[in-house]
Structures are given as C-alpha cells and as structure tokens.
Structure 1
Amino acid sequence: MSSFGAPNPDAAVYVISVAAELTGLHPQTLRAYERMGLIQPGRTGGGGRRYSHRDLERLRQIADLTSAGIGIEGVRRIMELELQVDALRARNEELVAELEAVRRGLAARAAAAQAAPNKLPVLHRGPGQSVVVWRRGS
C-alpha cells in the first residue's frame, strides 16, 4: 500500500463499534453473524475483533438479504454460491488466456513452417513406374 493509496480491502482495521456504525448493524448482530460462521473478522493479539473493508461489504450484503426476507441459511447458501461463481469465473479467465496462448503458438508454428523451405526429397513416378527422386536446391 502506498502512503496515499486506499488500504488493502482485506486489511483488518475497523473495530467492532466502527464496523457496526458503518454497516448500520448492532455490534451484537456482528457477533451473532460471526458465531453463525457468516463472517470471520481478524483478531488482535488481545483477541479484539478487527473488520476489513471486504468484511464490511459482506455484512452489508447479509443485511440486504435478510431485510429482503431471506433466512440465515438462505444467506449462507447464496454467499457460498457467489464464491463458487467467482472461482469459476477466475478459472474460466485462466482457461481462456491459456487457449489464446496455445492458439498464438500454433499460428506462429504454422507461419514458421510456411516460411521454412522444404528439405525433403520430392518423389516423382517416371515412365514404367520407376521412382525418381529429385532433390530441391538449397
């Protein structure tokens, strides 16, 4: 992180009271979500909770889903599926990049094969089905 840049989104910097205020949730709600396994804040050496920007986004998402009437198990499942979708998107991007690299390699090989002279002998059938071998000049 540069001295003027934004903090790392995974840096656990917010105490529970600040996280509660920024998300509009009660600190007890944050503790309950942690007990349920929906959020895992960082811990200080003394055991105090520290929330990251990514944790705050996750808490806001949980609040939005529960206010829309989705139960905690539904929220848990939605969040698991979103993580799977993100992982699949990342893997898809890796595979697309790998495919493009292979295609570029094949195109380069084909271009090199066309540009290189053929050093193989040329076979011609002469009169009476005898085989005549002609060597191309180098």
Structure 2
Amino acid sequence: MSRSKSKTLATWLAFLGGPLGLHRFYLYGLGDMLGWMLPIPTALGLYGIERIASYGIDDQISWLLVPLLGFTIAACALTAIIYGLMAPEKWNARHNPQLAPDALPGCTRWLTIFGIVASLLIGTTILMASLAYSFEHYFQYQIEEARKISQ
C-alpha cells in the first residue's frame, strides 16, 4: 500500500527543495526523470555565480548561466503555489486515489498558506531579479558592440 501524499509537504518541498527535484521525488518516486533533470540548470546557475566570483561581472558566460538558477527557483516557487492552491478533491484524486476526495492529506492548512505566501514573495523577487540581470547585461553588451562598430 502506498503512503498518502501531503499537499502541505509537497508545497514546501517544491519551494525549498524544488531546484533539486525533491518535490518530484516525493510525489512520483526516484524514477521521475524531471526530478533528476531539475538539478542541471540549478548547478549551471551556481557555476555562473562561481564564474562571476572568479572572472568578474563582465563574464559573458555567467550572463547566460546565472538566470538559469533564478528561473529554476521561480518555476519551482510557481509549482509550490499551484500545489498549495489545488482543491483537496483534485489533489487526492491525482496523488491519493486510494483516499476519499476530502481526505486530510489534500486539505489546505495554515502551513500550506504560509508556503504559498513564501513562494509568492521569494519566487517573484527572484524572477524579477533574474529578468533585470539578464536585460541589463544584454543591453550593456549591445551598447558596447555598437560603440565598437562606431569607432
């Protein structure tokens, strides 16, 4: 018999451990391919941060890698919000089919709501910071290239 899957735990795992695939492993087991793929953009983004520390802010490869981390964190925060806001009947039908539609693991509790709020605050902040970082460096690169052409 399989164990029931808690919506609250899945919400927090998606928020805190989503970039490592922890929520996917919790819900679908260790054979989940997406769970194993999620650490790849996370590791690449962390490598981009390491490149900034080593080569400075002007490293073009880090401009591409760092937003991968931000977008992965933001996507996992969105997943946490989706999990937290899912109706108990839909949650239990999808993840706990052996239980009644209104069973306790699918219910929304205060801890679930705190996970949704934290995901919304942190996820949107990281998404906006990633977009700002990407656009700023892209336009700085364009200005520098235009300056080279004009000389």
Alignment TM-score, normalising by the size of structure 2: 0.27
**TM-score normalised by the chain length of structure 1:** 0.29
Task: Determine which structure has more spread, i.e. the larger CA radius of gyration.
Answer: 1
Comparing both structures, which one devotes a greater share of its residues to helix? Answer: 2
